[in-house]
């Protein structure tokens, strides 16, 4: 009864093309890029703030949890409806409302794809700096929820450093504005708090972004090392030397071999590690700077340093890094990517620990990561169809995270906590730290209806609901148009 | 002078002063205050205690200046963790040995403590290049009103685990918790630096320069705009160029590798086509100039009686219109200064209070009409009460109030500072 009524109300607002409720449609929205799954009860595709408000109000009337999803490229399960409920998909809110080339601002809807902002700004010589590897697909709303990073965040900062203001729908349906196009709005920095809150505080329906001038010149260095140790010592030395390049990325031998056989981007197959370094900005002195960095690499026994200034050659060197996650398919059917961060001077030690953990669990681990930030991305290779391997991969991942925290680091640098790492939060935060976060959540989301069971250690209720719903997901789906649910149907979201 | 008199605020003195030496002692002082129901005002150097309304209740002055240690500097990681009472100047003197710095230059930066800089959220000219303390802050340890010590963030440069608590406490004027430790990402000091000063007859002539610096891929360190009166206050003590016909000055500070510095300077000179004077300042002047710059047009604490200090948040392109609004009345000699690439403008007026209130009221209307925000930074309590501390007050304030109620339910931390918190 409740389900049929809720559907009826959603259809009234969104029309038949704006609501999905049949299992074979919902199936497409039950996962993101992490390994967790959970099927929502309804999906709506709003085109405006008003429609988001209407959806939230309907969800409130029927006690439905609300999960917001952009492109579904998230890596921590943040947009997975593990508790069911109403999923608000923002991909039809994809208008760029304004580009202000004089003041370097853009105003966009949340479903705008990251790279579309830079494309729209390119005519003015501007771009949006945060560049997650999924930037051709991921949305600004998702970037804001996760406080996403990317290779070039080393020099320019992550999403939060580039978001000036937001329009936010609160869980009770009220719309507020926080921050704005000017800097330093008075009062508490709610913008800074909402960025990175993983959809648990409010629903972003509009964002004011800061644009940056494009660099006039970019030089890419490829430094080839025999060992990961040498490469990570070089990273520490470059940072300590007082030079902050645009990006410093590292790949280890496993990654190099997978990438090179897939992409032919010119990395030596027998190298122990490569560093990919961008120096950028003004052309004046840039090549001197590149040569200076090359000398540091050589000092740490780089056996070869290539310096590319030609855009096609640079593109080729970067293609390997950008296609690295995809190339892992050559090595194993599935991978689990971790996202721990360590102080940069701890890189050599922690990378050795990761290899040791891989050996102990009998798993291959490839490393492709933002070395300049100390942000690791160990890719643990396994086969999702094998429960024993899956268990070992998850355990090895948790052990890597523990090693990062012990080295003075953190659980996640840019992928978020989501479902995946929620039970690891106590590694980093004391019960009182978590209690304070819960109180802040209560100030926005007192009934815990927005993205419940994410980001904080799971409660018994979270787990029970999830296991009931999981059992249901395993039932086969009949691919035919079914009539709207009847009164007899069980209430799915309870 | 009696110790307690040093902590006088708007005429009132606290019942007691505590000068803890460790985070634990801060927590203990707060627990003690909680038991007595006392209102607590955290103190650093006191340089900016006049920001916000005067506290509605004031029982305990909690002086943090004895928490002044560097806890962990990792030079090869470009990060540092310090106690909140350390002075920025002392910290940067220490970091200079490593060719690193925490590139913050808030008003009265020679006195300011890290905790005070974070609590007030004030920034200076270097913000054009490095962002504000908000952008450099990566971790915090905070004592809550009940004496609980919590932490947010950490000591790594990228971190999205949990809510971004450092952002929440930055700029909260000590109303949510007492910052006891902070960690930052550091920057290498620029290899070379140079400063140029440009004088203009009209604000609109300066705009092509400030806007071209905003979109300059060499990222100038600072682009400050001053009116003639503000420039004269600097020229009073420093060897600076003189131009009696100038109404507006723009000072550009470039940093980086020598070739980059020269390039930024060349571009600035080219963009300042309407400038009356274009001077590269001698090195012996520039460090003194930049040490003074951030305090121009900022009233000292306590504020003089016949003066009012305001801050306007606008867009960089609105500077011309703003310059006219700032100096619309002949009755008040206004000193103003702007971060030219950021649209933040600081102004101080001196004169009879009635005239000042009219001037500020008009400025507020102008700023709101332009879609910006307006804050009274310094001045008599009665002036703040008359005009309201800041505008616009939007529905988000209700959420702020709820956060305050969650973290300080008894309202004992700097009560009334923000009016509603």
Mean pLDDT of chain B: 96
Give the A:B interface size as CB pairs under 8 Å. Answer: 249
10 Å Cβ neighbour count for B126?
25
Give the separation between CA A302 and CA A235, rounded to whole angstroms: 12
In this complex, do A184 and B187 lie within 8 Å of one another by their Cβ atoms?
Answer: no
A103 touches chain B (CB under 8 A): yes
A428 touches chain B (CB under 8 A): yes
A111 touches chain B (CB under 8 A): no
Q: Categorize the per-residue pLDDT at B294 as very low, low, confident or very high, splitting at 50, 70 and 90.
A: very high
User: What mean pLDDT is predicted for residues B94-115?
Assistant: 96
B146 touches chain A (CB under 8 A): no
B418 touches chain A (CB under 8 A): yes
Q: Which residue is listed with tokens 């001698």? A: B282
In this complex, do A341 and B397 lie within 8 Å of one another by their Cβ atoms?
Answer: no
Is the pLDDT assigned to residue A468 strictly greater than 90? no
Q: Categorize the per-residue pLDDT at B396 as very low, low, confident or very high, splitting at 50, 70 and 90.
A: very high
**Residues B66, B71, B74, B77: what is their CA dihedral angle, to the nearest 10 degrees?**
-90
Give the separation between CA B91 and CA B114, rounded to whole angstroms: 9
Assess whether B280 and B233 both reside in one domain.
Answer: yes
User: What mean pLDDT is predicted for residues B16-22?
Assistant: 98
Assess whether B334 and B360 both reside in one domain.
Answer: yes
B214 touches chain A (CB under 8 A): yes
pLDDT at A485: 53
In this complex, do B219 and A281 lie within 8 Å of one another by their Cβ atoms?
Answer: yes
B-chain residues near A444 (CB < 8 A): 399, 402
Residue B302 lies in a domain: no
No. of H helices and E strands in chain B? 14, 19
- Based on the structure, what is the number of domains in chain B? 3
Residue B294 lies in a domain: no
Q: Which residue of A has its CA nearest to B156?
A: A343
Q: Categorize the per-residue pLDDT at A493 as very low, low, confident or very high, splitting at 50, 70 and 90.
A: very low
10 Å Cβ neighbour count for A459?
12
Is the pLDDT assigned to residue A360 strictly greater than 80? yes
Mean pLDDT of chain A: 93
Q: Categorize the per-residue pLDDT at A393 as very low, low, confident or very high, splitting at 50, 70 and 90.
A: very high
In this complex, do B215 and A192 lie within 8 Å of one another by their Cβ atoms?
Answer: no
Give the separation between CA A214 and CA A130, rounded to whole angstroms: 13
Assess whether B280 and B316 both reside in one domain.
Answer: no
pLDDT at A102: 98
Is the pLDDT assigned to residue B78 strictly greater than 70? yes
C-beta of residue A350 within 8 angstroms of C-beta of residue A403: yes
Q: Categorize the per-residue pLDDT at A489 as very low, low, confident or very high, splitting at 50, 70 and 90.
A: very low
pLDDT at A483: 54
Q: How far is A148 from chain B (nearest CA, A)?
A: 8
CATH number of the domain at B326, please. Answer: 3.30.70.100
Point out the least confidently predicted range of A441-450, A475-484, B370-379: A475-484
Q: Which residue of A has its CA nearest to B370?
A: A182
What single-letter DSSP state applies at residue B304? P
Assess whether B408 and B378 both reside in one domain.
Answer: no
User: What mean pLDDT is predicted for residues A176-197?
Assistant: 97
Assess whether B261 and B210 both reside in one domain.
Answer: yes
Assess whether B263 and B318 both reside in one domain.
Answer: no
Is the pLDDT assigned to residue A328 strictly greater than 70? yes
Q: How far is B84 from chain A (nearest CA, A)?
A: 19
In this complex, do A443 and B405 lie within 8 Å of one another by their Cβ atoms?
Answer: yes
Q: How far is C-alpha B371 from the geometric centre of its chain's CA atoms?
A: 22
Percent residues over pLDDT 70 in chain A? 96
B157, burial (CB in 10 Å: exposed 0-12, middle 13-18, buried 19+) = buried
In this complex, do A103 and B316 lie within 8 Å of one another by their Cβ atoms?
Answer: yes
Give the separation between CA A274 and CA A4, rounded to whole angstroms: 57
Assess whether B97 and B63 both reside in one domain.
Answer: yes
Is the pLDDT assigned to residue B168 strictly greater than 60? yes
Point out the least confidently predicted range of A474-478, B121-125, B127-131: A474-478
A-chain residues near B257 (CB < 8 A): 284-285, 288-289
Assess whether B278 and B317 both reside in one domain.
Answer: no
Residue B295 lies in a domain: no
pLDDT at A481: 56
Assess whether B33 and B170 both reside in one domain.
Answer: yes
CATH number of the domain at B242, please. Answer: 3.30.70.2190
Q: What is the pLDDT of residues A16-37, one digit of tens each?
A: 999 999 999 999 999 999 988 9
Residue B398 lies in a domain: yes
Nearest neighbour of B168 by CB, restricted to A184, A188, A284: A188
User: What mean pLDDT is predicted for residues A143-148?
Assistant: 98
Assess whether B41 and B102 both reside in one domain.
Answer: yes
Nearest neighbour of B215 by CB, restricted to A104, A284, A421: A104
User: What mean pLDDT is predicted for residues B300-325?
Assistant: 94
B-chain residues near A184 (CB < 8 A): 121, 123, 132, 171, 313, 344, 373
Percent residues over pLDDT 90 in chain B? 95
Last residue of a domain, one of B284, B315, B350: B284
pLDDT at A239: 86
Is the pLDDT assigned to residue A205 strictly greater than 60? yes
Q: Categorize the per-residue pLDDT at A374 as very low, low, confident or very high, splitting at 50, 70 and 90.
A: very high
User: What mean pLDDT is predicted for residues B318-341?
Assistant: 94
| Surface of B (384-413) touching A: CB under 8 A | 389-390, 394-397, 399-400, 402-403, 405-407
Residue B299 lies in a domain: no
Please enumerate, as own/partner, the contacts of B27-33 that have beta carbons within 8 Å and a separation of 24 or more.
B27/B143, B27/B147, B27/B148, B27/B149, B28/B147, B29/B60, B29/B62, B29/B147, B30/B62, B30/B143, B30/B144, B30/B145, B30/B146, B30/B147, B30/B178, B31/B146, B31/B147, B33/B59, B33/B60, B33/B62, B33/B412
Q: How far is B281 from chain A (nearest CA, A)?
A: 22
Last residue of a domain, one of B253, B284, B315: B284
In this complex, do A439 and B406 lie within 8 Å of one another by their Cβ atoms?
Answer: yes
B-chain residues near A167 (CB < 8 A): none
In this complex, do B315 and A342 lie within 8 Å of one another by their Cβ atoms?
Answer: no
B10 touches chain A (CB under 8 A): no
B77 touches chain A (CB under 8 A): yes
Last residue of a domain, one of B247, B269, B284: B284
SS3 A317: helix
C-beta of residue B366 within 8 angstroms of C-beta of residue B316: no
Is the pLDDT assigned to residue B384 strictly greater than 60? yes
Rg (CA), chain A: 23
Please enumerate, as own/partner, the contacts of B94-99 that have beta carbons within 8 Å and a separation of 24 or more.
B94/B70, B95/B186, B96/B189, B98/B73, B99/A242, B99/B188, B99/B189
In this complex, do A242 and B160 lie within 8 Å of one another by their Cβ atoms?
Answer: no
Query: Residue B377 is part of which domain span?
Result: 307-388
Percent residues over pLDDT 70 in chain B? 100
Residue B338 lies in a domain: yes
Residue B96 lies in a domain: yes
ipTM above 0.95, yes or no: yes
Residue B300 lies in a domain: no
CATH number of the domain at B75, please. Answer: 3.30.465.10
Q: Which residue of A has its CA nearest to B211?
A: A102
pLDDT at B251: 98
Give the separation between CA B125 and CA B96, rounded to whole angstroms: 19
Assess whether B328 and B264 both reside in one domain.
Answer: no
B-chain residues near A177 (CB < 8 A): 394-396
Give the separation between CA A14 and CA B216, rounded to whole angstroms: 45
User: What mean pLDDT is predicted for residues A460-472?
Assistant: 88
Tell me the CA distances in angstroms from A299 to A225, B99, B237, B391, one per residue in order: 11, 21, 49, 57
B220 touches chain A (CB under 8 A): no
In this complex, do B161 and A444 lie within 8 Å of one another by their Cβ atoms?
Answer: no
Of chain B, the end-to-end C-alpha distance in Å amounts to 32
Residue of A282, A350, A430 to mutate, testing the B interface (most B Cβ within 10 Å of its Cβ): A282
Percent residues over pLDDT 90 in chain A? 86
Is the pLDDT assigned to residue A490 strictly greater than 80? no
- Comparing C-alpha atoms, which of A115, A481, A112, A436 is closest to residue B409? A436
Nearest neighbour of B396 by CB, restricted to A177, A373, A415: A177
User: What mean pLDDT is predicted for residues A273-285?
Assistant: 95
pLDDT at B1: 59
User: What mean pLDDT is predicted for residues A213-241?
Assistant: 94
A429 touches chain B (CB under 8 A): yes
Which domains are seen in chain A, by residue range?
Answer: 2-91+450-473 (3.30.43.10), 96-213 (3.30.465.10), 217-322 (3.30.70.3450)
Assess whether B12 and B97 both reside in one domain.
Answer: yes
Give the separation between CA A171 and CA A149, rounded to whole angstroms: 27
Q: Which residue is listed with tokens 């305990």? A: B60
Q: Categorize the per-residue pLDDT at B265 as very low, low, confident or very high, splitting at 50, 70 and 90.
A: very high
Give the separation between CA B114 and CA B116, rounded to whole angstroms: 5
Q: Categorize the per-residue pLDDT at A487 as very low, low, confident or very high, splitting at 50, 70 and 90.
A: very low
């Amino acid at each position: 009864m409740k389900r049929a009524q809720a559907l009826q109300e959603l259809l009234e607002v969104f029309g038949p093309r704006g609501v999905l409720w049949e299992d074979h449609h919902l199936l497409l929205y039950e996962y993101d890029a992490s390994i967790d799954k959970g099927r929502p009860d309804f999906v709506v595709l709003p085109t405006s703030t008003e429609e988001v408000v209407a959806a939230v109000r309907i969800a409130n009337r029927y006690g439905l949890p609300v999960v917001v999803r952009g492109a579904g490229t998230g890596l921590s399960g943040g947009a997975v409806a593990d508790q069911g409920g109403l999923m608000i998909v923002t991909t039809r809110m994809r208008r760029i409302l304004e580009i202000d080339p004089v003041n370097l601002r853009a105003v966009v809807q949340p479903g705008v794809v990251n790279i579309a902002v830079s494309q729209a700004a390119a005519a003015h010589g501007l771009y949006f700096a945060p560049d997650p590897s999924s930037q051709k697909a991921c949305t600004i709303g998702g970037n804001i929820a996760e406080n996403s990073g990317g290779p070039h965040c080393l020099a320019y900062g992550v999403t939060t450093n580039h978001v000036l203001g937001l329009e936010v729908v609160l869980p009770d349906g009220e719309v507020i504005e926080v921050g704005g196009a000017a800097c330093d709005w008075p009062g508490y920095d709610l913008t800074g708090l909402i960025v990175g809150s993983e959809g648990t505080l409010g629903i972003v329906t509009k964002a004011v972004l800061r644009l940056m001038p494009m660099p006039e010149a970019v030089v890419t260095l490829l430094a080839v090392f025999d060992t990961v140790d040498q490469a990570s010592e070089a990273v520490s030395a470059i940072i300590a030397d007082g030079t902050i390049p645009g990006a410093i990325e590292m790949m280890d031998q496993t990654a190099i071999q997978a990438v090179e056989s897939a992409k032919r981007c010119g990395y030596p197959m027998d190298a122990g590690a490569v560093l990919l370094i961008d120096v950028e900005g003004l052309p004046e002195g840039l090549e001197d700077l590149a040569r200076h960095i090359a000398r540091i690499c050589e000092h740490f026994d780089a056996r070869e340093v290539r310096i590319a200034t030609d855009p096609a050659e640079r593109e080729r060197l970067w293609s390997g890094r950008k296609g690295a996650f995809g190339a892992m398919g050559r090595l194993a059917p599935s991978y689990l990517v971790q996202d721990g961060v360590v102080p940069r001077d701890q890189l050599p030690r922690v990378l050795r620990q990761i290899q040791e953990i891989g050996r102990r669990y009998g798993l291959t681990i490839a490393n492709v990561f933002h070395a300049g930030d100390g942000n690791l991305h160990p890719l643990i290779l396994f086969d999702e169809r094998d429960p024993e391997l899956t268990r070992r991969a998850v355990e090895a991942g948790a052990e890597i995270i523990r090693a990062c925290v012990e080295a003075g680091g953190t659980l996640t640098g840019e992928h978020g906590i989501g479902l995946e790492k929620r039970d690891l939060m106590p590694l980093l935060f004391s019960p009182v730290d978590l209690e304070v976060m819960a109180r802040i959540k209560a100030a926005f989301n007192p009934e815990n209806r927005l993205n419940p069971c994410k980001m904080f250690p799971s409660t018994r209720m979270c787990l029970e609901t999830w296991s009931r719903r999981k059992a249901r997901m395993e039932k086969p789906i009949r691919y035919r148009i079914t009539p709207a649910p009847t009164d007899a149907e069980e209430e799915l979201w309870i | 002078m009696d110790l307690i008199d040093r902590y006088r605020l708007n005429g009132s003195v606290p019942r007691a002063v505590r000068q803890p030496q460790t985070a634990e002692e801060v927590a203990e002082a707060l627990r003690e205050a909680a038991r007595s129901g006392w209102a607590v005002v955290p103190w650093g150097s006191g340089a900016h205690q006049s920001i916000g309304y005067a506290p509605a209740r004031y029982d305990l002055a909690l002086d943090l200046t004895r928490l002044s240690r560097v806890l962990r500097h990792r030079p090869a990681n470009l990060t540092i963790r310090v106690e909140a009472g350390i002075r920025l100047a002392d910290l940067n003197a220490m970091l200079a040995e490593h060719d690193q710095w925490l590139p913050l230059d808030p008003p009265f930066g020679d006195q300011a403590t890290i905790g005070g800089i974070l609590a007030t959220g004030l920034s200076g000219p270097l913000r054009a290049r490095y962002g504000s303390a908000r952008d450099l802050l990566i971790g915090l340890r905070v004592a809550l009103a009940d004496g609980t010590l919590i932490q947010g963030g950490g000591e790594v440069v990228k971190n999205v685990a949990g809510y971004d608590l450092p952002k929440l406490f930055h700029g909260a004027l000590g109303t949510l918790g007492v910052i006891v430790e902070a960690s930052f990402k550091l920057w290498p000091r620029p290899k070379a630096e140079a400063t140029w000063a440009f004088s203009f007859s009209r604000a609109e002539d300066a705009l092509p320069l400030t806007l071209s610096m905003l979109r300059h891929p060499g990222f100038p360190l600072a682009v400050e705009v001053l009116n003639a009166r503000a420039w004269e206050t600097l020229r009073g003590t420093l060897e600076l160029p003189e131009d009696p016909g100038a109404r507006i000055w723009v000072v550009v500070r470039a940093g980086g590798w020598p070739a980059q510095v020269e390039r930024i300077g060349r571009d600035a000179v080219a963009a300042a086509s309407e400038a009356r004077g274009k001077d590269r300042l001698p090195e012996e002047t520039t460090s003194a100039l930049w040490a003074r710059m951030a305090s121009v047009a900022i009233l000292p604490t306590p504020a003089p009686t016949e003066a009012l200090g305001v801050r306007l948040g606008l867009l960089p392109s609105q500077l011309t219109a703003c310059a006219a609004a700032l100096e619309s009345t002949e009755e008040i000699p206004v000193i103003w200064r702007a971060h030219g690439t950021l649209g933040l403008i600081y102004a101080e007026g001196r004169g009879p209070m009635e005239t000042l209130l009219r001037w500020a009221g008009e400025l507020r209307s102008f700023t709101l009409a332009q879609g910006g925000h307006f804050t009274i930074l310094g001045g008599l309590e009665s002036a703040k009460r008359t005009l309201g501390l800041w505008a616009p007050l939007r529905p988000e304030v209700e959420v702020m109030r709820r956060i305050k109620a969650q973290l300080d339910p008894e309202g004992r931390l700097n009560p009334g500072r923000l009016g509603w918190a």
